[in-house]
Amino acid sequence: MYPTLFNLVLSKLDPERAHHLAFLVIRALPALGLGGLARRFTAPDPSLAVEALGLRFDSPFGVAAGFDKDGEGVLGLGALGFGHVEVGTITAIAQPGNDTPRLFRLIPDRAVVNRMGFNNHGAGAAANRLLRVRRARRRPVLGVNIGKSRVVAVEDATADYLTSARALAPVADYLVVNVSSPNTPGLRGLQELDLLAPLLGAVKEVAGEKPLLVKIAPDLTDEQVQRIAELVVRLGLAGIIATNTTIAREGLRTDPAVVAAAGAGGLSGAPLAARSLEVLKLIRASVPAELCVISVGGVETAEDVQERLDAGATLVQGYTAFLYRGPLWGRQINRGLLRLRRALVEA
């Protein structure tokens, strides 16, 4: 039914408004006591569980940062079958994000352009909310993604990240440093090694024993990807998330006028799949087998997820296809993974 609902109703709504409406339903599941009922229908088979980062993930498939910016829907998303939820990006200072409209669908490409700009209520508010989430009896693994506050100069970025890390590391199962969004001026410059190394080293010290990962852009050169992978190993970080959205626009099927009207921002969805897979393979070839590599970008089907796992991903995340697949997307992925694995055993 969801494809019909999307084509007839949701695709006609402003994308950000449609997201908010869907999010209200997700938040309502545990609030109305329906989480347990939903979980019976969506829970992944125990055989799909993954041990990583010193944690148990019920499924290798989770929700990428950007979908739940303030950690308000973690329990609802967990009830829909996702093995982990990465909230954020959260900044030390609350900020409204960029002006609207700032989210655009490219439906022929099953893609989205966003320039949200890290809209969130700040690290302090998120920490209080996530502390309550951690106390829940049933919840998914909780990742927290932190970024630079827009009003903070790039040269002061480390102190800003440390403020967020101090507030949020205690309530996270793992922590992510986001230096790869194209929607905060100067942020991607922090991927340069002379800036990235001291930043990650400082955040790692504050995070303590909490697993720390870094999220990188798909628009880096292969050499840059390999150098960051080597840096992550040298600093003793727990892993890498690859990749964020892209600023590229090549090869799109959507009317060029529609793409131009969407304007600047990060492109996510199916067009990102090939580069995201390439970056995953580059990283896996450059790091020890035990390093956690989370693949995200252009994932929509169980076959897509299994392809990333076969290419060396420890875990896989998705976001954009939620808009096109609907609330049972996590269940579809988990059921599909189980079917693929059973078919492999029987072959």
315-66-178-271 Cα dihedral, nearest 10 degrees: 70
Q: What are phi and psi of 139, to 5 degrees?
A: -155, 155
* β-sheet with 103-106: strand ranges across: 103-106, 111-114, 266-269
Question: Which pLDDT does position 192 carry in this prediction?
Answer: 80
By residue count, the chain amounts to: 347
CB-based contact 64:86 (threshold 8 Å): yes
Helix and strand numbers, DSSP H then E, in the chain: 13, 13
Contact between residue 231 and residue 194 where contact means Cβ atoms under 8 Å apart: no
Give Cα 160 to chain centroid, integer Å.
21
CA 58, CA 80: separation in Å to the nearest integer? 12
For residue 234, which of 226, 222, 243, 244 has the smallest C-alpha distance? Answer: 226
Cis peptide before 327 (omega within 30 of 0): no
Q: How far are the Cα atoms of 11, 64, 297 from residue 103, in angstroms, in the given order?
A: 12, 16, 17
The reported pLDDT for the residue numbered 88 is 87
> Residues of 110-140 as b/e, b for ≥16 C-beta within 10 angstroms?
bbbbbbbbbbbbbbbebbebbeebeeeeebb
Q: Per-residue confidence of the chain (347 residues) as pLDDT tens digits?
A: 677 777 777 777 888 888 888 888 888 887 777 777 777 888 899 999 999 999 999 999 999 999 999 999 999 999 999 999 999 899 999 999 999 999 999 999 999 999 998 999 999 999 999 999 998 888 999 999 999 999 999 889 999 999 999 999 999 999 999 988 776 877 777 778 778 899 999 999 999 999 999 999 999 999 999 999 999 999 999 999 999 999 999 999 999 999 999 999 999 999 999 999 999 999 999 999 999 999 999 999 999 999 999 999 999 999 999 989 988 899 999 999 999 998 888 87
Global pTM value: 0.93
Looking at residue 336, its pLDDT comes to 96
Give the C-alpha separation, 276 to 282, whole Å: 10
Tokens of 34: 């329906």
Q: To 10 degrees, the CA torsion angle through 189, 194, 200, 201?
A: -160
Name the burial class of residue 341, with classes exposed (0-12), middle (13-18) and buried (19+) by CB atoms within 10 angstroms of its CB. Answer: middle
Bridge pairing between strands 111-114 and 141-146? unpaired
181 is catalytic: yes
* Distance separating alpha carbons of residues 315 and 226, to the nearest angstrom: 20
User: Residue 265 corresponds to which amino acid?
Assistant: G
Distance CA 121, CA 59 (A): 29
Asked if 213 and 251 touch (Cβ cutoff 8 Å), the reply is no
pLDDT at 173: 97
Q: Determine which one of 149, 164, 180, 181 is catalytic.
A: 181
